[in-house]
Structure 1
Amino acid sequence: MSIEAIIFDLDNTLIHRKQAFAAYAERFVERFIAAEAPEKREAIIERMRLADQDGYRDKRELYRELHAEFELKNPDTTVQEMLGFWYGEFHKFTVLIDGSKEVLSELRSRGLKLGIITNGSLRMQRAKIDRVLLRDDVDSIIISDGVHTKKPHPRIFELALKELEIADPGHAWYVGDHPTNDIRGAQSAGLHTIWLEGFMPWEETGVLPDYRIESLREIISCLDRFSSSTNTEEGAYECAVDYDKVEARDD
């Protein structure tokens, strides 16, 4: 089966959100929180990381909690000011995952169509994409708030396939870090899946990725093996997921 398109998640797949949040949290503490001792600052930053839930926490709820919990430099600081700081500053800390640009360039040189599907707000996700100049590297960008559906619903993957003019979802691969939103979601829409491990623990039940990689650069070798073997059992085995490391849970 031929490969016509490869579609990527954004956060912790093409860009390193965890690294960006750590740098942002330091700036946030410096701006708003009374914490002079280094160990106290480190504890607050770690508390922020956990409360953020890797970006899946409602932002207004998050900043209400932080506002109530921490000692503020200025007691008159409002939750709205903190939210404004988030929307105005976080995207400035966006950094690419190692190898992102090189992999996208190589895939495009091979004639593959490329896309991004990401959950999140139009404003923030567009700002992050533009900060690291990804827009011209792909043919389609689907942001959940712009299409009123989000991963893992299969509809958002179907919209991307339509934009890329891919009639058969089996001719597309989806790359992401989230076992549910990315792997289960893409498989429910009929795409092949590649799990970028190292960011999210595997806690999905009844679903496994087609391929597992530890770095984006491994996509190229998987693609080469897949193409040269024309999807024979031997070729698929070399790139296949290591089932000893990623287990489906039975609970």
Structure 2
Amino acid sequence: MIRTVVFDIGETLVRDDRYWASWANWLGAPRHTVAALVGAVVAQGRDNADALRLIKPGLDLAAEYAAREAAGLGEQLDESDLYSDVRPALARLQELGVRVVIAGNQTIKVAKLLRDLDLPADFIATSGEWGTAKPHPEFFARVLGASGGAGSWETLYVGDHPANDVTPAKRAGLLTAHLRRGPWGYLWADQPEAAAADWQIDSLMELSEIVTR
């Protein structure tokens, strides 16, 4: 029986459109150029921040983040950034008595912005708050700690990234659902790491059927 469902954030709950568009504006590059470069480095299995370093060689990501925040152009998040199935899917899980947890690789500020959206979730945390990030085992140990007492076999982790979500979550003993969404979700959907998930889904609305089986 699945008692807790844990959600990744980027390209699972939240669209990354605004994030990459803001970087394009900051670096003075066309948005389609940044999007294309992100796709290229993803296909090569590289860190997506490498797309920004192709535009600005030697870019210090932390320093640029700080500069953007100081200029009032830092991270933003509102209702328009959510995928349309997020609220109904999370609300339905809570109606079914399932604990809903949101935990992904994001900053401390994103955690606050998510909480301000008042999502149907019992617990929200980010890697910035925890001081550990996926795919490190400690991150998934923290996920289990947030599961409300559910065992690993009763906890389902949902994400789009096979290497960051499916593989380490399975290694930690969690159930997994790979979501075909976003660059990683679509590009690597037929790869062995994604295929190893317990379920492969195209919408978060499919989760209510999974937990009631």
1:141 is matched with 124
Structure 1: which amino acid aligns with 2:178?
A: W
Residues 21, 31 of structure 2: 8 Å contact kept: no
Instruction: State which of 169, 178, 181 in structure 2 corresponds to 1:195.
Output: 178
2:11 is matched with 12
So what's the TM-score if we normalise by structure 1?
Answer: 0.65
Q: CA deviation at 1:118?
A: 0.8
What secondary structure does 1:10 align onto? coil
1:84 is matched with 67
RCO higher in structure (CA 8 A, sep ≥6): 2
1:118 is matched with 104
Structure 2: which amino acid aligns with 1:100?
A: V
Q: CA deviation at 1:164?
A: 2.8
Q: CA deviation at 1:25?
A: 5.1
Residues 63, 82 of structure 1: 8 Å contact kept: no
What secondary structure does 2:101 align onto? strand
Cα separation, partners in 2 of 1:52 and 1:80, compared to 1, 3 Å = farther
- Map of 1:1-251 to 2, 5 A cutoff? 2-17=1-16, 19-21=17-19, 23-24=21-22, 28=25, 33=28, 41=30, 43-47=32-36, 49-50=38-39, 56-58=47-49, 65-67=54-56, 84-85=67-68, 88-92=73-77, 95-123=81-109, 125-130=110-115, 132-134=117-119, 137-199=120-182, 200=184, 201-202=188-189, 203-205=191-193, 208-224=196-212, 226=213
Q: Where does structure 1 lack aligned partners over 5 or more consecutive residues?
A: 36-40, 70-78, 227-251
Q: d(CA) in 2 for partners of 1:32 and 1:206?
A: 33
Cα separation, partners in 2 of 1:25 and 1:154, compared to 1, 3 Å = closer
Q: d(CA) in 1 for partners of 2:118 and 2:140?
A: 23
Cα separation, partners in 2 of 1:42 and 1:107, compared to 1, 3 Å = closer
Q: d(CA) in 1 for partners of 2:19 and 2:32?
A: 15
Structure 2: which amino acid aligns with 1:113?
A: R
Q: Where does structure 2 lack aligned partners over 5 or more consecutive residues?
A: none
User: Quick one: percent identity of the two aligned structures?
Assistant: 23
Q: CA deviation at 1:210?
A: 0.3
Cα separation, partners in 2 of 1:98 and 1:64, compared to 1, 3 Å = same
Whose Rg is larger?
1
Q: d(CA) in 2 for partners of 1:205 and 1:219?
A: 20
Residues 4, 150 of structure 2: 8 Å contact kept: no
Cα separation, partners in 2 of 1:64 and 1:16, compared to 1, 3 Å = closer
Q: CA deviation at 1:85?
A: 3.0
Q: CA deviation at 1:220?
A: 1.9
Q: CA deviation at 1:126?
A: 2.0
Residues 183-205 of structure 1: CA deviation (Å, up to 9, x unaligned)? 01111111110110132114455
Residues 115, 124 of structure 2: 8 Å contact kept: no
Residues 117, 157 of structure 1: 8 Å contact kept: no
So what's the TM-score if we normalise by structure 2?
Answer: 0.75
What secondary structure does 1:164 align onto? coil
Q: CA deviation at 1:20?
A: 2.5
Cα separation, partners in 2 of 1:68 and 1:82, compared to 1, 3 Å = farther
The root-mean-square deviation of aligned C-alpha atoms, in Å, is 3.4
Q: d(CA) in 2 for partners of 1:206 and 1:109?
A: 29
Aligned length: 200
